[in-house]
Structure 1
Amino acid sequence: MIHIVFNEPDVDVLQKAIELDETLAGDILLIRDDYAVGPLQNLYIGEGIQARRDWWKTVLAGTDGETSVDNGDVDDYKTVAEVVGRLRRDENEVVWIWAAQNKHDVSGYYWLLYYVKEFQGRVFILYLNNLPFFNEKGNIFYPNWLSEIPAKEYLKAKKLAREITLSEFEVDPDEWTKICNADKGVRLLEGGKKLINEDYDFYDAELKRLITGDWQKASKIINQHISKTKHTTGDMYLLWRLKSLIESGDYDVQGKLGNMKEFEVKSKQAVAV
């Protein structure tokens, strides 16, 4: 059995669940890229793959993650090649795709379908959308991320595994193609598996609101965005958008414009006449 997840914290909690239930035993593979942001055109051919890598280089420029694209730290195509190879070599091998109701997981699910469609009947989905679970304190909650679910609750979640239907393998890739061809930079989840596109600057308005007349570290602004804003995304994307706002010349900055803890930002003060 091959388990596929889309967030690094999910790996640890799923491994703990496997330790509690040997029927879940299998290899856990992680899809690392966040397909809810960035360019998606020609995503399955060399031109589009390279365009996305170049975009990530721009986003990560000046940060500790700048070299991660070039050195192969993120190579989902290598990961999916391993999955396809194993499925072709062993007709008894199956894949379980784990996804919670968030744009990151759903975008990853859509991206993955292209590669596993030839194995219909051996590919299962566990989509935990709008399903209640018990947290560590015994209270019912609705998780947005798999990693929020205690390991023991995965024993209940496994019962939700179902085959991805032939109809889904026909309809969902068409929906994903529309998303990819729209040439937008941000995906949002409306509900179920329905994604909508927004422009690259979608998160800018809230970032602007969080910048005040006092000096604040970029990390504080970004963490506020992530913790308090309804629609948000990964910190590296928000850092890139914050740097883009600074380049407009509307804000003061001090420090090195690199990692989010290395510089501070404030709004320009009006000059008294």
Structure 2
Amino acid sequence: MIHIVFNEADVKVLQQAIEMDETLAGEVVLVKDDYAVGPLDNMYVGEGIEARKQWWRDVLAGGDLDGKIDQEENDDYTTAAELVGTMRRNDEEQIWIWAAQNKHDVSGYYWLLKYMKEFQGRVHILYLNNLPFFNDKGQIFYPNWLHEIPAKEFLNAKKLAREITLSEFEVDPDEWTKLCNESKGVRLLEGGKKLVQADYDFYDAELKKYITADWQKAAKIINNFLSKAKNTTGDMYLLWRLKT
């Protein structure tokens, strides 16, 4: 079994869950890019792949992550190729895609589907769509991210696993293609798996509310935004918007 997640923090908690339940035993694979932001045009061919990489180079330029996009371990296309190779070599292998109800996970799911279609019947989705779980204090809550769920709760979450249907493999890639062709920069989750898009400056107006007349570090502005704004995104994207 191969588990796929879309956030680095999800890897650790899922590995902890696997240690508790041998029926979940398998490799945890991370899709690293944030497909909820940035260009999507022609993203499955060389020109589009390079255009997206160049966009990330511009976003990360001058920061702590400058140059990271060109490191081989951050190449999702290599990861996808390795997954396809593994599935073709082993007819018994299965993939479980874990996604919480947020734009980041759902965008990653849509991106990945292109590579999974030939394995219909062996690819499962565990989509935590507005479902309650118990936190560490025993209180019911609705997680926005997988890593918010205690590892022991994954033992219940596994019951949600279901095959991605043939219909989904037909309809969902078409929806993703439409989004890719709109040439927008920001994806937002309306509900379920429904994504809508906005321009690159979508977060700017809200971000500006946390800029004062006094000198401030960019990190403080971003942290205030992330803790108070309804719609948020990655800190590197926000830093890029502050510099733009």
TM-score tier by shorter-chain length is over 0.9
Distance in 2 separating the partners of 1:225 and 1:96: 34
Off by >6 Å, runs of 4+ in structure 1: none
- Show structure 2 runs of 5+ residues with no match: none
- Show structure 1 runs of 5+ residues with no match: 245-273
Distance in 2 separating the partners of 1:97 and 1:43: 21
Deviations 1:6-55 (A, max 9, x none): 00000000000000000000000000000000000001000000000000
Offset at residue 216 of structure 1 (A): 1.1
The answer for the alignment partner of 2:87 in structure 1 is 87
Distance in 1 separating the partners of 2:21 and 2:87: 23
The answer for the alignment partner of 1:34 in structure 2 is 34
Q: Are residue 70 (structure 1) and residue 40 (structure 2) matched?
A: no
CA RMSD, Structure 1 to Structure 2 (Å): 0.5
The one-letter code matched in structure 2 to 1:93 is E
Offset at residue 124 of structure 1 (A): 0.1
TM-score, structure 1 normalization: 0.89
The answer for the alignment partner of 2:135 in structure 1 is 135
The answer for the alignment partner of 1:5 in structure 2 is 5
Distance in 2 separating the partners of 1:40 and 1:226: 25
The answer for the alignment partner of 1:103 in structure 2 is 103
Deviations 1:122-151 (A, max 9, x none): 000000010000000000000000000000
Aligned residues with identical type, % of pairs:
75
Deviations 1:39-81 (A, max 9, x none): 0000100000000000000000001111111222410011111
Higher helix share: 2
The answer for the alignment partner of 2:202 in structure 1 is 202
The answer for the alignment partner of 1:51 in structure 2 is 51
The answer for the alignment partner of 1:260 in structure 2 is none
The answer for the alignment partner of 2:22 in structure 1 is 22
The one-letter code matched in structure 2 to 1:57 is R
The answer for the alignment partner of 2:216 in structure 1 is 216
Q: Are residue 125 (structure 1) and residue 125 (structure 2) matched?
A: yes
Deviations 1:100-140 (A, max 9, x none): 00000000000000001000000000000100000000000
Distance in 1 separating the partners of 2:158 and 2:70: 37
Q: Are residue 238 (structure 1) and residue 242 (structure 2) matched?
A: no
The answer for the alignment partner of 2:148 in structure 1 is 148
Distance in 2 separating the partners of 1:97 and 1:110: 11
Offset at residue 4 of structure 1 (A): 0.2
Distance in 1 separating the partners of 2:72 and 2:82: 15
The answer for the alignment partner of 1:264 in structure 2 is none
Distance in 1 separating the partners of 2:171 and 2:22: 34
Secondary structure of residue in 2 paired with 1:91:
coil
Deviations 1:180-233 (A, max 9, x none): 100000000000000000000000001111101111110000011111100010
The one-letter code matched in structure 2 to 1:25 is A
Distance in 2 separating the partners of 1:185 and 1:203: 11
The answer for the alignment partner of 1:268 in structure 2 is none
Secondary structure of residue in 2 paired with 1:33:
coil
The answer for the alignment partner of 1:249 in structure 2 is none
